[in-house]
Structure 1
Amino acid sequence: MAVYTDITEGQLRAFLSDYDLGELLSYRGIAEGVENSNFIVHLDGGEFILTLYEKRVNERELPFFVGLMDHLAGKGFSCPRPVQRRDGGAIGHLAGRPAAMVTFLEGVWPREPLPAHCEGVGEALARMHCDVGDFAGRRRNGLSLCDWRPLFEQVGERADDVIAGLAAESRAMLDRLEEEWPQDLPSGVIHADAFPDNVFFLGDRFSGMIDFYFACNDLFAYDVAIALNAWCFDADHRFDRQKGAALLAGYQRARALSDAEKAALPALCRGAATRFMLTRLYDWIHTPDGATVTKKDPAQPLAWMRHHAGVSDPGAYGLSE
């Protein structure tokens, strides 16, 4: 469910009066997504996506997200481009929420990613990392290493109510990550949430990336580690080395990983898996039953974390020499 704030036709027409996009023909809510309310809007001027930003998105950070998408689109990177209002801005208000219109992207996200999809997302991430080199915006990663332990402590021993022994296992992994986390690797703005449902394809050809609302400044190789977790495990939580090799080959086609980045991949993959396990665990415990948000099971990223715990050689991910 991704329409938390519904809108009337009258409200939408009033909102669209600040744009030069033509007459409203139709609109409907989009069921996918978990953070914001999204609608596809059909106008004389074409199809657009309307996003109403819900409470988990800080309105003060919207200029960063909107500016990033506009910057990337201007570089030729395939992502939604914010549509300017008549006043020159991109953010308005609708139904008591900040809201923006962005361009529509063709394509669908792959429900069962193939190596070709992994290669495509790897190359797309690398191109994004290259394209942000002259982007002036900055945003701290609010879910970085220093935030994971405080997040876990809000769950504490209740973690064992979800999965037996998880509290001690989580603390041990946090101890390890705090000791081994890499420093001084190449960094810049990363997507930080490049899961399959945020990447579109036409067949096996990359057609666009969406949902930049976790984007922040962090290590480029950490973004790669997030993608390795999100794209390269099968339904039984086994790492698919062929997919890993494809993703890394696609990435390095556009941006070569340094030797230090390659050596850090096992630790970064452990960290990425731990981050998603902790946020899902927190939501699993704190989201009340009956809420419209679909809770995601922390068992999936926990399986990733356990896999990476035993990896020391980056070649295990399919990294070529």
Structure 2
Amino acid sequence: MAVYTDVSAEELADFLSHYDIGELLSYKGIAEGVENSNFLLHTTRGTYILTLYEKRVAAGDLPFFLNLMTHLAAHGLHCMQPMTTRSGDALGTLAGRPAAIIEFLEGVWPRRPTVQHCTVVGDALATMHLAGAGFEMTRANALSVAGWRPLFAAVEGRTEELQAGARNLLATELDHLEKAWPRTLPTGVIHADLFPDNVLFLGDKLSGLIDFYFACSDILAYDVAICLNAWCFEIDHSFNVTKARAFLNAYNRVRALSIEEQEALPLLARGASIRFLLTRFVDWLNVPPGALVKPKDPQEYLRKLRFHQGVKSIRDYGVEQGLVA
């Protein structure tokens, strides 16, 4: 979340007049994240999130995101829900941008995830994958393996700023991933960005999943790999095998990973590292002047990539292959 587009109180009041959510009391920008402009709204009837979708989010994808949230909530997943106008529309236009109002979920995201947090997230991710099986809409993942080469080309000339030798490391890794990327693993709806700041807790209890704006149709185990990277490393970038074991076991109790998925997990984790390394580096180099935004450090994912390159099997993540339980 971030703020790239300013909204006047007059514009916002007019926008809200189409909803039955009360009159505007106050609003303020939310600085976290990098994708869209977000505001916290307080009205006479409650608290909401206003999102203005910026250029990186294709307007044609928005019905997928908004309908997915509604579908998942109807199938038992705790997640944010879009509000609709009196005419039933979840999507409108504000300040020249597509815009939506989303219900506000109480809770805080964990700055220092615990083993219990990892257990809860494993359960929630598997629940989401099962719930998404009945969702009829699809959306290709533009940031899967076919999308990494163009990202690399856009920043290749500056990759040595990351670390000496990074250019050759990334080029070689991309060659390997493009050749070895699995094509027959189970697919479905994935969140694709389930980092700690997209999961809200009240104590150790999950209160909701948020920010579905990278959700897409892709390999389910790739979503597991993204979470493994996001939840199971410490601040010093060391891998926490206890957290990984808790996360994988919790996921498997809800949706069992096949042997093929388990075998592919180290490769998928390398791919997840490349994906976030490259998109973070692009963002790092292209923050608009004056934007209220905090770009995330791409160096973190260079270290994670090196770790996964040394992983031989799922055993290195704390569980025996075929015996996740």
Quote the Cα distance in structure 2 between the aligned partners of 1:288 and 1:14.
28
Give SS of 2:236's match.
coil
Match of 1:196 in 2: 196
Bigger shift: 304-313 or 293-302?
293-302
TM-score relative to the length of structure 2:
0.94
In the alignment, does 2:271 pair up with 1:271?
A: yes
Determine what percentage of the aligned residue pairs are the same residue: 56
> How does 1:9-20 map onto structure 2 within 5 Å?
9-20=9-20
Match of 2:121 in 1: 121
Give SS of 1:154's match.
helix
Deviations 1:173-199 (A, max 9, x none): 112212321221111110000011111
Quote the Cα distance in structure 2 between the aligned partners of 1:66 and 1:29.
21
Unpaired runs of 5+ residues, structure 1, are none
Bigger shift: 75-84 or 154-163?
154-163
Quote the Cα distance in structure 2 between the aligned partners of 1:162 and 1:302.
8
Match of 2:309 in 1: 309
Give SS of 1:124's match.
helix
Change beyond 3 A, Cα 1:265–1:46: same
Deviations 1:231-257 (A, max 9, x none): 111112111000000111111121111
> Which residue identity lines up with residue 112 of structure 1 in the other structure?
R
Quote the Cα distance in structure 2 between the aligned partners of 1:311 and 1:176.
15
Per the TM alignment, residue 22 of structure 1 is displaced from its structure 2 partner at its CA by: 2.1
Per the TM alignment, residue 124 of structure 1 is displaced from its structure 2 partner at its CA by: 0.7
Quote the Cα distance in structure 2 between the aligned partners of 1:226 and 1:127.
16
> How does 1:149-160 map onto structure 2 within 5 Å?
149-160=149-160
Match of 1:208 in 2: 208
Match of 1:228 in 2: 228
Per the TM alignment, residue 59 of structure 1 is displaced from its structure 2 partner at its CA by: 1.1
> Which residue identity lines up with residue 160 of structure 2 in the other structure?
D
Quote the Cα distance in structure 2 between the aligned partners of 1:32 and 1:283.
14
Per the TM alignment, residue 164 of structure 1 is displaced from its structure 2 partner at its CA by: 0.9
TM-score relative to the length of structure 1:
0.96
Quote the Cα distance in structure 1 between the aligned partners of 2:260 and 2:97.
44
Give SS of 1:306's match.
helix
Change beyond 3 A, Cα 1:82–1:288: closer
Change beyond 3 A, Cα 1:287–1:9: closer
Match of 1:50 in 2: 50
Per the TM alignment, residue 150 of structure 1 is displaced from its structure 2 partner at its CA by: 2.1
Change beyond 3 A, Cα 1:280–1:139: same
Q: Is the 8 A contact 2:129 2:220 kept in 1?
A: yes
**How many positions carry a matched residue from both structures?**
321
Per the TM alignment, residue 47 of structure 1 is displaced from its structure 2 partner at its CA by: 1.6
Quote the Cα distance in structure 1 between the aligned partners of 2:70 and 2:107.
20
Change beyond 3 A, Cα 1:137–1:159: same
Per the TM alignment, residue 141 of structure 1 is displaced from its structure 2 partner at its CA by: 0.4
Quote the Cα distance in structure 2 between the aligned partners of 1:9 and 1:297.
34
Q: Is the 8 A contact 2:52 2:97 kept in 1?
A: yes
> Which residue identity lines up with residue 103 of structure 2 in the other structure?
T
Give SS of 1:11's match.
helix
Bigger shift: 119-128 or 278-287?
278-287
> Which residue identity lines up with residue 234 of structure 2 in the other structure?
D
Quote the Cα distance in structure 2 between the aligned partners of 1:287 and 1:89.
32
Change beyond 3 A, Cα 1:237–1:226: same
> Which residue identity lines up with residue 249 of structure 2 in the other structure?
A
Quote the Cα distance in structure 2 between the aligned partners of 1:282 and 1:21.
38
- Alignment RMSD (CA, Å): 1.5
